[in-house]
Structure 1
Amino acid sequence: MRSMRKVGIIGALGVLVAGATVASGTAASAAPNVTPQKVCGSAYKTVNSAPIGSLGTVYLTYNSSNGKNCVVTIRTNPGTAKEMSTYIYVPDTDEYADDHGNYTSYAGPAYVYGKAHCVSWGGNIANVYVSVDNSNCAARIEHRVTEIR
């Protein structure tokens, strides 16, 4: 009888420890270590970025081996899904890509061919929007706008 009680107590403690491990594991994974390279690909190097207030950042990346740009909007504090977007546009070629929806951590990736072209890009988190026009080219002066809608 006494050994049965010990087995029961040891089993209950095992369940509690396993439950605590699962609970702490869930909390740790709720804030993933998201980077532009994890979203766009390791060959993409960050060439520009713009803060979206205190909510996060939109990143412009470039892959010199294929001439493509990638944008991604990443939240500072992942959590409950919020309206988010990311976009990129090449005026010279009229190429456009975007991603939008309700996301917990990031929006994107969105890719366009941008070698030797100015690009316009941006994104939003909730009601804060950022746009960057005429970016990453010597021919024009970059223009940034942040607005709350």
Structure 2
Amino acid sequence: MKILLAGLCGAVVTLAGSGTASAAARAAGPTFQLPFPCGETWAGSSNSYAHTGSEIDFNWGAGDADLGKTVVAAAAGTVVTAAYQTSNGYGNLVKIRHSDGSTTLYAHLNSLSVSSGASVAQGQKIGTVGKSSAKYSIVSHLHYEQRSPSGAIVRASFNGSTFNYPNQSVTSRNCGGGTAPTTTTQPAPSGSNPYSATQVCGPGYKQIDSAPLGSQGRVVLMYSSATGQNCVTTLRASGSGKVNASAYLEVQGKARQTDSGSYQYYAGPVRAKAAATCVKWGGSIGSAKYDSPFGHCG
């Protein structure tokens, strides 16, 4: 059985307004953005037979062209689920709860970049597009849902306007304007990076090493004793514009995992279990680069 996704060739159109009532209902909640990096255009469809009406399957290209593409948080919030699901068919799922109690779901992911309990910013990478599912045989795509505080699936909105069901191509305006929930009331200095390594990797991670990248920033190695995972993130000193940045983690005897791209504040997080195993880690910002030897073998 293979699910065929419809509506993948629609032209980019201007999003229609959702009406006064729905706009008022959303006023107290976050302004959701497309769950993909700024400037990317994705085709969405609600036509799958497995949908109840308001879910959206997003595709960037035909077949498995989407596999491994970055998925980001549609709004700031707290991760309540980051795990593989079986009977419901979601596969690798991230579920984020937002400030008004609403939630967003990102399903069939190829990989997860966040853990349960982590605070995430709007536009922060949370995983990659995939086709994981224990229930369905599917082509690579992102299954996306917006849910009300009661848990009901609602018609999705992006950048303040309702998705034009059943099919629409949408260009992302998820350009890093949101901030992650924080326990401090002190604002970040103007131009400085508002994110810490703990915010990026999530609660429970403690810093065990770091290395400077000139005046550009630093790369940080974290560890969670609860999960046995290491986490690496590269943090810029300033958030002025975007630069090429990367973060990597290599567990001895296994393939290196890397996150790289054009980022405003940080690269990563990159996570891997490495209990009683040596790790090599590092990252870069522009031309500044750090590569560790294998170490931290406990």
Query: What is the deviation of 1:121?
Result: 0.4
1:38 to 2:199 alignment: yes
* Counterpart residue type for residue 224 of structure 2: N
Match in the other structure for 1:61: 222
Structure 2: stretches of 5+ with no match in the other structure: 1-187
* Counterpart residue type for residue 77 of structure 1: S
Contact 2:192 2:237 in 1 (8 A): no
Match in the other structure for 1:89: 250
Structure exhibiting the larger radius of gyration computed from Cα positions: 1
Find the aligned partners of 1:117 and 1:91 in 2 and give their Cα distance.
Answer: 7
Match in the other structure for 1:126: 286
Find the aligned partners of 1:53 and 1:135 in 2 and give their Cα distance.
Answer: 22
- Relative to its length, the structure with more helix (as a share) is 1
Alignment partner for residue 273 of structure 2, among 100, 103, 113? 113
Match in the other structure for 2:210: 49
Find the aligned partners of 1:84 and 1:52 in 2 and give their Cα distance.
Answer: 11
* Counterpart residue type for residue 283 of structure 2: G
Find the aligned partners of 1:59 and 1:28 in 2 and give their Cα distance.
Answer: 21
Q: What secondary structure sits across from 1:37 in the alignment? A: helix
Query: What is the deviation of 1:29?
Result: 7.4
Query: What is the deviation of 1:30?
Result: 5.3
Structure 1: stretches of 5+ with no match in the other structure: 1-26, 139-149
Query: What is the deviation of 1:96?
Result: 2.8
Find the aligned partners of 2:261 and 2:272 in 1 and give their Cα distance.
Answer: 20
The TM-score with structure 2 as length reference comes to 0.35
Query: What is the deviation of 1:82?
Result: 0.3
Find the aligned partners of 1:108 and 1:77 in 2 and give their Cα distance.
Answer: 16
- Relative to its length, the structure with more strand (as a share) is 1
Match in the other structure for 1:73: 234
Find the aligned partners of 1:42 and 1:108 in 2 and give their Cα distance.
Answer: 15
Find the aligned partners of 1:37 and 1:128 in 2 and give their Cα distance.
Answer: 23
**Deviations for 1:16-37, whole angstroms, at most 9, x for unmatched residues?**
xxxxxxxxxxx96754421111
How many residues in Structure 1 have an aligned counterpart in Structure 2?
A: 111
Match in the other structure for 1:4: none
Find the aligned partners of 2:213 and 2:289 in 1 and give their Cα distance.
Answer: 7
Query: What is the deviation of 1:137?
Result: 2.5
Q: What secondary structure sits across from 1:134 in the alignment? A: coil
Alignment partner for residue 262 of structure 2, among 85, 102, 106? 102
**Deviations for 1:97-141, whole angstroms, at most 9, x for unmatched residues?**
211000011001000111111100000000111100112137xxx
The TM-score with structure 1 as length reference comes to 0.69
1:136 to 2:274 alignment: no
Q: What secondary structure sits across from 2:292 in the alignment? A: strand
Supply the RMSD in Å over aligned alpha carbons. 1.8
